[in-house]
A and B are shown apart, each in its own frame.
Chain A
């Protein structure tokens, strides 16, 4: 697989830099000194068997748990101790492993609320129009995600696959610099997996909507990860086993033995 822009992406300051991150729960070390960087526009995959520390790493990067040691930098600024709200305001979007849409709001309103807090002050928003001036942007994402026919339905009334698309689209409404995708294919019909991959590639490359976002993706679907990601990090027992391009990971004997099992 070739990624023509990969070299350009590797130039300059990383969007995300994680240095020697550690987190233990009692005697169990969930993450034991993990370091990696994600460059602008890069799609970075994190794979590993259950219990390898992926979720703890993700939760640390998202401000939901405080790491015991190490440093997390976003565009050069230390965000190790920032909470989820602060991280989002600084340009970090995310999706969750399980569906997290606002079930009683329409699909369009789900998208609008996903970005409305990023403009103006809280006071000024009290007098802002209902759609916060984000209607056109929401409509563009609705069309891109092929969910126009359900745009005015309540999100909770949609099928699982449709809700998953809404869930992913919401993460991109505020044009984040970095999006952390937690198992975007979990529970999704195999026929939709390819569609999600295509959408994520479009969002990664389309500066109008995706603003050259960088992604960090946790996913168990290997075909999806190998097809989508520019680089992949393999974690085993809280440690980094390997970081490389999909081709390098595929041919890494240690990885094959420890994780891919073939």
Chain B
């Protein structure tokens, strides 16, 4: 690993560990909320950014994760069993949602996943016996770890941070393995990928399933953070917002979701001064961003590099042209 990368990681680690000490409860809550959305959108970035599958159903998995933990905890099951159960259920449902992607792509796939989100949301809203319907499920407890209570906001923040680091590391390892190249090949050119032996069907299903696991884990953490869940945060609108976070950060850039989630979670807080105009400012910012940076915020370094390379190439061409003229004159 490069020295600059190590320094960057160290600085980030220090900031993430130290900053909450100086924040009030709401600030800590907001940071935790951001971490949860980093996990969720990292999963979506795998599905959308790396594997190129258009999914507008991610909030459904986020909700399934949250409801799984909430329902199981209400039934007396430990959070530590609820969390893997949420991941497992999302993995299975992710594979099922992946099947339409084997037949349809692009906007048609987006609509298929959107339909899935709507169906799941309706179950959450209508099946009162299971989900509490519009009344939701309240008093969801926060877990304790080795006797340490995670009830406090700061303790829960550090716990969420640890889970985030673990999930980020796992995804980093996965994307550095041959699987990462297979996902990218699937996104860039599935026909060519298949002709090279890449099992595009399996990788498509796995991109949905693994992405769903990330949303499920994030949902489980979300349930314990807010301690009350109802269907509203898991609508199609929430899925679109998550998609936006991936696109704004930079789809296919590993750290894109970190920035994207910050834009989606923190920016609205910064825009509070705009009051009723908040959505107008936010919407305009997104429009401008999509016009100038369609590949997201993290594409800025690549763009600068490409511009620099173009300048070097053009200077080299000019120099070789001058040399040719000189040689011609002296001949």
**Residues on A facing B (Cβ under 8 Å):** 62, 83-85, 88-89, 93-94, 96, 100-105, 109, 112-118, 122, 125-128, 130, 132, 170, 173-174
Contact = CB atoms under 8 A, between A and B. Distances in A.
A127 B194 CA distance: 22
B202 A112 contact: no
A173 B176 CA distance: 20
A195 B195 CA distance: 25
Given A85-B199, A117-B199, A118-B197, A112 B192 contact: no
A103 B188 contact: yes
A174 B197 contact: yes
Contact of A113 (B191, B196, B199): B196
Question: Do most interface residues of chain A lie in helix, strand or loop, or is the interface mixed?
Answer: loop
Nearest to A133: B178
Residue from B188, B193, B196 whose CB has the most chain A CB atoms within 10 Å: B196
B185 interface: yes
Nearest to A100: B192
Contacts of A173: 196
Nearest to B201: A85
A18 to B, nearest CB: 19
A132 B178 contact: yes
A93 B180 CA distance: 22
Given A84-B194, A130-B177, 7 more contacts: A85-B194, A85-B199, A109-B181, A114-B196, A117-B178, A122-B202, A170-B196
Contacts of A102: 184-185, 188-189, 192-193
B189 A126 contact: no
B182 A113 contact: yes
Nearest to B177: A126
B178 A174 contact: no
Nearest to B174: A126
Nearest to B184: A105
B194 A88 contact: yes
Given A126-B179, A130-B177, A104 B188 contact: yes
Contacts of A101: 189, 192
Contacts of A132: 178
B264 interface: no
B176 A130 contact: yes
Given A103-B188, A104-B188, A117 B182 contact: yes
Given A113-B196, A118-B197, A104 B181 contact: no
A130 B181 CA distance: 9
A248 B188 CA distance: 43
B316 to A, nearest CB: 13
Among the interface residues B178, B185, B189, which one has the most CB atoms of the partner chain A within 10 A? B178
Contact of A122 (B181, B191, B196, B199): B199
Contacts of B191: 84, 100
A96 B194 CA distance: 13
A109 B180 CA distance: 11
Contacts of A113: 178, 181-182, 184-185, 193, 196, 198
A105 to B, nearest CB: 6
Contacts of B184: 102, 104-105, 113
Nearest to A103: B188
Given A102-B184, A128-B177, A128-B178, A117 B195 contact: no
B174 A84 contact: no
11 contacts: A83-B194, A84-B191, A88-B197, A101-B192, A104-B188, A115-B196, A116-B182, A117-B178, A122-B199, A126-B174, A126-B179
Given A102-B188, A102-B189, A125 B178 contact: yes
A103 B187 CA distance: 10
A117 B252 contact: no
A174 B195 CA distance: 11
A101 B193 CA distance: 9
Contact of B177 (A100, A104, A114, A125): A125
Contacts of B189: 100-102
A83 B180 CA distance: 24
B180, B194, B200 pick with most chain A CB within 10 angstroms = B194
A10 B6 CA distance: 60
Given A100-B189, A102-B189, A103-B188, A88 B195 contact: yes
Contacts of A125: 177-179, 182
Contacts of A104: 184, 188, 252
A112 B241 CA distance: 36
B197 A85 contact: yes
Contact of A96 (B192, B197, B198): B192
A181 to B, nearest CB: 12
Contact of A105 (B179, B181, B196): B181
A112 B177 CA distance: 12
A113 B181 CA distance: 6
Nearest to B302: A154
A147 B194 CA distance: 24
Nearest to A64: B191
A205 B196 CA distance: 22
